[in-house]
Structure 1
């Protein structure tokens, strides 16, 4: 695709020694966002959650800034460049948006669906929120609350490169096809069986 062609693909040297076990929550225990579980509710916004949560984690890891960034800002304001909002989006496009336009803090623009949902089944799907470009609190200015990704890139999709990226730089955003049986996943590594 055009979007994928514009994002560089990186790999890590095979000589990089990786530990047998690695837990980002303990490696960067000062980062309150790592390991936090959020609920996208009635909105197909996983693409936005993955990007913004990874960026929040990396701000803490690399710049010692413990901050929650706004999924709502990316979801509502990226528009057609990122896909279809609550009906799905493109992670690579989200990262390009984070580099070029940034996102405000969660405090400035909190996630619109505070209801959450229980699985399986999150019907009906909600509409994508409107991009208002104003903080909910009059104490913050929208533009001053923006935080940007330094770059957007893709990691080669093999176990070594993905593990090396997490080990060196922090949590990553991944995308995979969700089958019917994923709603019944309990623990461990998910393996598609039926549906």
Structure 2
């Protein structure tokens, strides 16, 4: 993994005003590219250990910029940006940030129990669980592929708020450290179902402040996990590909889902309803926290990611709904409390 040294926050803020918006595709001179790269480095607090590493990253940056501008030339319903991943190749990005273990068996199974939201015959046209105070702020998994832990914990945080009235930030690190013995492998990959089962068997999950995130798997700490700020009694799977049932579930609570987040456009998503090209390989995990319809009539899912606020629309994404885009309904589950 490449080494980065952080600028001070003040230095980064000083250069924010120099940021240039993306323009239509054109042949950019090397000097112009270099200026934009320096601006990107300042905004993101990045410095490289050697001239050779900087030159390598500059070449990746230029290619990413050209691809972004080619997408914008098509005037799609969404926009991309030179976010914090702009100096990473697609292969590097996938290696560092994709962490969901595809569970083919899950997609073939019916829900664990009777679908608890099946009786909701008329779900609301739109819902945003942030407006109900049931969503914690955006978190950042950093270069640890434990999106599965963040996705599951976000769903548990929300159902805890819905059931108890208390919104508490819970510990992804406890899940990362303590989920062992199954297929989950810490920062390499994991399953939300295993995270849910651990929380059930553990009698709950500690507060994030008691068991803070370290972005690396450590040893399970029983003392830190002794506080139980969020508990669940079980979890249920939604039948693979069933977006109607997924909508009924989201109308009642945020839902943990797998997704194909490995594409270039997903990597650089910034705003709008994403309708981009992506497959159905389950390699990333997020949490659906709502749904709605855009002004142009496009139905969408509202997704909470775990790549920090500098990705997407301050950490969130609108994903086209009704076509199982990016496999959003293939591997979905939610906790009971």
Q: TM-score, normalised by structure 1?
A: 0.75
The DSSP-based 3-state class of the residue aligned with 2:144 is coil
Using the TM superposition, give the Cα deviation of residue 160 of structure 1 relative to its aligned residue in structure 2, in angstroms. 1.7
Equivalent of 2:157, from 56, 70, 73?
56
State how far apart, in whole Å, the 2-side matches of 1:62 and 1:7 are.
22
> Which structure shows the bigger proportion of residues in strand conformation?
2
CA contact (8 A) 1:7 1:152 kept: no
Count how many residue pairs are aligned between Structure 1 and Structure 2.
Answer: 171
What RMSD over aligned residues (CA atoms) do the two structures have, in Å? Answer: 2.7
Deviation at residue 78 of structure 1 after TM alignment: 0.6
Q: State how 1:93-172 maps to structure 2 within 5 Å.
A: 93-101=194-202, 102-113=204-215, 127-135=216-224, 142-145=225-228, 147-156=230-239, 157-168=241-252, 170-172=253-255
**Alpha-carbon distance in structure 2 between the residues aligned to 1:6 and 1:164:** 16
> 1:37 is matched with which residue?
138
Runs of 4 or more consecutive aligned structure 1 residues displaced over 3 Å after TM superposition: 1-7, 9-15, 144-147, 188-192
CA distance in 2, matches of 1:6, 1:110: 35
Structure 2 unaligned spans of 5+: 1-102, 280-337
Alpha-carbon contact 1:7-1:154 (below 8 Å) kept: yes
CA change 1:193–1:19 in 2 (3 A) is same
Q: How far does residue 176 in structure 1 lie from its aligned partner after superposition?
A: 1.3
Q: Distance in 2 between matches of 1:22 and 1:45?
A: 27
User: Contact 2:136 / 2:169 at 8 angstroms: preserved in 1?
Assistant: no
Q: Relative CO higher for 1 or 2, CA cutoff 8 Å, sep ≥ 6?
A: 1
* Secondary structure class of the residue paired with 1:187: strand
Asked if 2 retains the 8 angstrom alpha-carbon contact of 1:179 and 1:192, the reply is: no
Residues 136, 154 of structure 2: 8 Å contact kept: no
Is the alpha carbon distance of 1:23 and 1:15 closer, same or farther for their aligned partners in structure 2, counting shifts above 3 Å? closer
| Distance (Å, rounded) in 2 between the aligned partners of 1:74 and 1:173 | 15
Contact persistence 2:160–2:230 (CA under 8 A): no
TM-score (norm 2): 0.46
Secondary structure of 2:249's aligned partner: helix
Gaps of 5+ in 1: 114-126, 136-141
Tell me whether 1:13 sits opposite 2:118 in the alignment. yes
Q: Cα 1:192–1:98, aligned 2, differ >3 Å: closer, same or farther?
A: farther
